[in-house]
Chain A
Amino acid sequence: MKIAVFIETHNAQGIRSAKEALTAARSLNAEIVGITTSNADALHQFAEYGLTTCITVSHDLLATYSSTAIASAVAQAAKSANANVVMFGGNASGKEIAPRVAVKLQAGYIPDVVEVQDANGALQCVRPVFAGKAREHVKATTTVTVVTLRPNVFTAKAVGGGAVTTSAFTPELTGNDAKVKTTGVTRNEGKLDVLEADIIVSGGRGMKGPEHFTLVEDLAKPLGAAVGASRAVVDAGWRPHGDQVGQTGKTVSPSLYVACGISGAVQHLAGMSSSKVIVAINKDKEAPIFKVADYGIIGDVFEVLPKLTAKIKEVTGK
């Protein structure tokens, strides 16, 4: 198996989902080559995660970020490398680029993968379906397979470092390839996004009003966590849509997910059930959230959260 891994950097920082893709690729005992359209100066950050060779793709039309131009360039580079698997981290850019690459390579496309296996030299993947209620084991019936991995599921493992051998590649691109252009990026300043957080503390209807979210924020602080919310809370206007975890919101897989006053409707579980450790605090012992929780407290969030925050501060010292 020869796997081409899409290597992406933002502002000279190697992004985590690309490191996760390298880790997943390494678990398959395959020949691995990176493909990057980013600045090659940041490649050493990936050496630590097992990148030894990388195709550096450059073209004038790649100077302005264009998802469609990158898709054309990556497809051409993957073809030149004779890769039979092209692997992307499933972040917003990976999900945008990968389906187009798959069509260009006449490849089967397998998105949102949570497990990869080598089945007699062919890639087989597991992915959650039906809001996480079932899983499908799938493979492509084509020569080439393109996959994206669900973020934060494959924990990026450092394996020492070394040098990255690069080879330059110039794709053939025309203006038609660059038909989508990114004109700017607005960051939520001073706020950790649930998609980027290792720990998430979410509040639901049990918080009873937007003013009580300070209790959730207070617990998030010593944990260095992002604050999330259930759909009910977002629809009621207590929290912004960007905070919503679950169906019609964001799908997250943090190391720790703390659900405060969230009953655990299927729509919510769909967005967080692949979290590594799930914790619930709810006064209703029948709440469905407890069925997916590793640890739980049956109690009133208004009494439990301040005590919990104080106890966690003792441990973290923050």
Chain B
Amino acid sequence: MNILVCISQVPDTTAKIVINSAGNAVDPAGIKFILNPYDEYAIEEGLRLREKFTGTVTAVTVGGDSAKEILRTALAMGVDKAVIIKNAEKSDSFSVAKNIADYATTLNPDVILLGRQSIDYDSFQMSGTLGELMNMASVSMVSKLEITGTDVAMERDIEGGKESVQTSLPCVIGVQKGINEPRYPKLPDIMKAKSKPIEEFSPSSQETRVQTITMDIPASKRVGKILGDTDADIAEFVRLLHEDAKAF
């Protein structure tokens, strides 16, 4: 099975976000970047599919040189091949999807796996956008996957329950927590990954479709009324919630 896993580099969740001087992007200075947490599930699922069906797992990311870090993590976890698509221009999700689609076309994968969303822009669209660009089926928020021959059965999380979905290979699958427990790379594998080759792919297009006009840090509009735990405090707390906030 020819498996492609798409991964992305994102600021650590706890990173302090500062807006750049132009006021339209995040200032990357001082931010620690990590592998998008959802993508660990995608890598793990790719490795498990390879263990079951044999084949090759390729990890691809779009970004600058620093993004090679996460490809090394993927290599340490066990992927066979790592590819970086250099796209240093200000890009949007469409342009990233288009870059990956261009690369994926050369690879002709049976299955494309990705995390359900990246935790930076949370745009939750890569599986659908990539699927449509590749003219492949796409299913997002997948927490259970079973491939038999070319039949693909999945469960995805929906409001108040689970949806059972069926499609066939090739397809794009956005995975999430619950599908597996990602392995931790072992130290010797981390060391070996440092000297493994990373292939470069040049994107054919830098077309973007969405523009960030400004970015800002939201001002808190919270009331911030904090009380103690006496009976009088609790009575007042309930009154505030019921009468002032009309919250119940």
Which residue numbers of A lie inside 8 Å of B, CB to CB?
67-68, 71, 91-93, 95-100, 102-104, 106-112, 124, 128-142, 176, 179-188, 192-193, 195-196, 199, 223, 241-242, 244, 247-249, 251, 255-256, 265-267, 270, 276-279, 285, 290-300, 303-304, 307-308, 311-312, 315-316
Contacts and interface: CB of A to CB of B under 8 A. Distances in A.
B66 interface: no
B48 interface: no
A294 to B, nearest CB: 4
A133 B10 CA distance: 14
A133 B17 contact: yes
A104 B132 contact: yes
B213 A139 contact: yes
A140 to B, nearest CB: 5
A180 B140 contact: no
Q: Give the interface residue-count category, chain B.
A: 35 or more
Contacts of B120: 129-130
Nearest to A125: B210
Contacts of B127: 99
Contact of A95 (B124, B217, B223): B124
B61 interface: no
Interface of B: 11, 13-15, 17, 19, 26, 37-38, 92-94, 119-129, 131-133, 135-141, 143, 153, 156-168, 171, 176-178, 208-218, 220, 222-229, 231, 233-235, 237-238, 240-242, 245, 247-248
Contacts of A139: 210-211, 213
A138 B241 contact: no
Nearest to B221: A294
Given A180-B165, A223-B248, A294-B223, A248 B215 contact: no
Contacts of A111: 122-125
Nearest to B242: A315
6 contacts: A71-B128, A100-B128, A179-B137, A180-B138, A193-B159, A293-B226
Ranked 10 nearest A-B pairs via Cβ: A299-B229, A99-B128, A108-B209, A103-B132, A193-B160, A92-B158, A99-B125, A294-B223, A256-B247, A296-B226
Contacts of A311: 234-235, 238
B217 A134 contact: yes
A108 B245 contact: no
A149 to B, nearest CB: 12
Given A124-B213, A134-B217, A108 B248 contact: no
B160 A135 contact: no
Contacts, number: 262
A229 B115 CA distance: 22
Given A290-B226, A300-B229, A181 B241 contact: no
A178 B62 CA distance: 30
Contacts of A96: 128, 138-141
A135 B215 contact: yes
A130 B26 contact: yes
> Which of A181, A199, A223, A277 has the most CB atoms of chain B within a 10 A radius of its CB?
A277
Contact of A181 (B158, B165, B209): B165
B227 A297 contact: yes
A139 B212 CA distance: 7
A137 to B, nearest CB: 5
A185 B161 CA distance: 7
A100 B132 contact: yes
A267 B13 contact: yes
Given A270-B13, A295-B223, A136 B212 contact: yes
A92 B94 contact: no
Contacts of A303: 229
Contacts of A188: 160-161
A50 to B, nearest CB: 23
A183 B171 CA distance: 17
Nearest to B162: A186
A140 B211 CA distance: 6
A128 B212 CA distance: 12
A133 B138 CA distance: 30
Given A99-B128, A292-B220, A304 B122 contact: no
B229 A304 contact: yes
A22 B104 CA distance: 38
Contact of B240 (A135, A291, A295): A295
B213 A138 contact: yes
Nearest to A224: B248
Contact of A109 (B129, B139, B223): B129
Contacts of A108: 92, 94, 209-210
B226 A266 contact: no
Contacts of A179: 136-137, 167-168, 171
Contacts of A138: 210-213
Given A279-B241, A303-B229, A312 B248 contact: yes
Contact of A316 (B163, B168, B224, B248): B248
Contact of A182 (B13, B17, B164, B213): B164
A297 B229 contact: yes
A307 to B, nearest CB: 5
Nearest to A257: B247
